[in-house]
Amino acid sequence: MRGVRRAARRAQRSDAEVRSSATGHPRRGGSLGALRGLRSWLAGPGVPCSSLAVVPLCLSISPSQTVVQTSMSRFQVALLGLGLLLMLLLYVGLPGPPEQTSWLWGGPNVTILAGLTPGNSPIFYREVLPLHRARRVEVVLLHGKAFNSHTWEQLGTLQLLAQRGYRAVALDLPGFGNSAPSKEANTEAGRAELLERVLRDLEVHNAVLVSPSLSGRYALPFLIQGHHQLRGFVPIAPASTQNYTQEQFWAVKLTKRGAMASEGLEGEHPSVTLFRRYLRIRTVQPEPDYGAAVAFLEERAHQLGLGCQKVEVAPGYVVTILTWPGTNPRLSSLILNSHTDVVPVFKEHWSHDPFEAFKDAEGYIYARGAQDMKCVSIQYLEAVRRLKAEGRHFPRTIHMTFVPDEEVGGHKGMELFVQRPEFRALKAGFALDEGLANPTDAFTVFYSERSPWWVRITSTGNPGHGSRFIEDTAAEKLHKVVSSILTFREKERQRLQSNPHLKAGAVTSVNLTKLEGGVAYNVVPATMSASFDFRVAPDVELKAFEEQLQGWCQAAGDGVTFDFAQKWTESRVTSTDDSDPWWAAFSGACKDMNLTLEPEIFPAATDSRYLRAVGVPALGFSPMNLTPVLLHDHDERLHEAVFLRGVDIYTRLLPALASGLAGPPRWPAKALAPGGAH
């Protein structure tokens, strides 16, 4: 085959990096011909080991190339047939191997060790050790659909590698040879993780991975994800190449250290590469890796020449502050806030690993946090990087705050941080925080948000046997309260639907989220409860609303009470009046960029409520237009072009907000809940 011969000639000429495109077709068709070509290549003067070698021997084989040509004589064929028959008789007539994890086959020159990897889903392997001085490169041999690890022994490849000084390991993929099927093989990420685990268990280092046909389903995702065990990769008509883009293959870096990295693609924008790197940090609730996120941010601070402060607001909960000092320290500062945690995932519903940051051929990046809200975190950082590279300076200090715990309420994050002296020392004058994507050409900006009230209604009544008509039961009275609340819910829903000018954040929503009570089918319970998630609109008088709750309970009868699991009463609104200097600066910069803004009330809750409650005006803004709202959804994704445009937008916004404003910045928010917290 031309590709193999070309690779062999290059290997003879130089002990430097090998890169072969193998654009020609093999003269001997099919995977077996390619395997024989590989054996010929390995039998050459030596595989270079000074750098990573990617040698695609045969990337495509047409159906007409499936016939294996051979120059064997009839006599040789007959001997081969007799030998195979003898092996079959021995296999049938002799007892199986003893119950052990490894055993040996002896040969004239080479001993082949076989065994099973430890743990669940063990993988069968055959291994040879070098007969003389070992080379630093180790060879891992996978196989195609019609073969297994024994094929490499039959071809003599294992023996040849041992004779030439290589440690070599041939694997039986799950469901082939002596390896049982594995659930890990059902997904792309699972196959990559399985291969990584096997190499780790076998202590394979500086590996050259040989991957014929079907094994590409394991080798290619392993390769693309950038595992550093590899020193070289030899694809032989690998399967699943259609699942990856040309850019992804170019992303495989050939370095003298032999590390294969797929953090970024050649030709990929560095900001996108950084974004994908941040997405791979698993800060997923309920056990987020905050330490890795903080380390990432510390590294960015060092690279950008920014101050870095870490404030532990609760044990294990750190707020990281990156600071770009302004030229006028007497001015209030600009806060760019984002949270580091993300919500849980159900991997079985994702098209790609939610923490791989996979980018498809169209440029969509799939990851948890792609929209909520790691995109904004990196957009802040990249906008600051650009402005610093341009030599810009601004009167106001810019603080980028990266907070934990937002996705579970922010009680161990921003809620505690705003009460600390470190926050007061920031002299915050205005803040930007997260928003939502907008499927239209416009950009949504949020100036307030609804107040979350989590209410549990508890009803007590007469107990008794389930066969009797018992009066005044807990269930009867609870039913009355539930009916009253759901009637209110329907009125609010109709009000929203009947007015096209209203958005979801302008009405109060409520949902029944939990019912509890009872001990047995035939026992009428003495106590039952129902839990509700209210999101109260900011124009609602909270004292009157609480009295309405009390009225529903009293109307149901005696023994009906309510209590709060969460009750937010500091509802504030950030001014969107053109006379306000902060809004004027923000909206003016957007107008200069021809951005259409749609001011709204945020329908859920963010950390902005804590900032507004202590007197810091805040706008929720995530520059993602022409993008479906996918936060917390399966297959959360963001197009790289939308992400990069967001960097451009912040690069224009920050100078407008960090410069001296026309008038003194003031707190324009007002409390809409008379009497404050209660």
> What type of residue sits at position 523?
V
Contacts of 45 (CB under 8 A, 6+ apart): 11, 12
Beta bridge partners of 168: 128, 139
Contact 354/347 with Cβ under 8 angstroms?
yes
How far is 510 from 490, CA to CA, in rounded Å?
A: 9
Establish whether 372 is an annotated binding residue.
Answer: yes
Establish whether 393 is an annotated binding residue.
Answer: no
Give catalytic status of residue 341 as yes or no: yes
How far is 548 from 261, CA to CA, in rounded Å?
A: 60
DSSP 205: -
How far is 3 from 6, CA to CA, in rounded Å?
A: 5
Contact 574/448 with Cβ under 8 angstroms?
yes
Q: Please state, as a whole number, how many other Cβ atoms lie within 10 Å of the Cβ of residue 155.
A: 17
Q: Which of 402, 251, 258, 284 is nearest to 336 (CA)?
A: 402
Contact 136/199 with Cβ under 8 angstroms?
no
* Local structure of 537: helix, strand or coil: coil
DSSP 558: T
Establish whether 434 is an annotated binding residue.
Answer: yes
Output the CA angle 644-619-638, nearest 5 degrees: 30
CA distance to 270, 272, 428, 458, 580, per residue, from 661 (Å): 33, 32, 15, 53, 10
Beta bridge partners of 209: 140, 233
Q: Which of 77, 75, 42, 67 is nearest to 57 (CA)?
A: 42
Choose, from 188, 341, 546, 636, the residue flagged as catalytic. Answer: 341
Establish whether 490 is an annotated binding residue.
Answer: no
Contact 342/368 with Cβ under 8 angstroms?
yes
Token pair 């990069």 in the structure block, residue: 644
Q: Which of 600, 534, 602, 539 is nearest to 568 (CA)?
A: 534
Establish whether 632 is an annotated binding residue.
Answer: yes
Choose, from 127, 153, 382, 406, the residue flagged as catalytic. Answer: 406
* Local structure of 54: helix, strand or coil: strand
How far is 629 from 638, CA to CA, in rounded Å?
A: 10
Token pair 């002596």 in the structure block, residue: 178
Contact 429/485 with Cβ under 8 angstroms?
no
H or E segment and range at residue 321: strand 317-324
Q: Are strands 527-536 and 451-460 parallel, antiparallel or unpaired?
A: antiparallel
Annotated binding-site ranges: 339, 372, 407, 434, 632
Annotated binding-site ranges for Zn(2+): 339, 372, 407, 434, 632
Active site residues: 341, 406
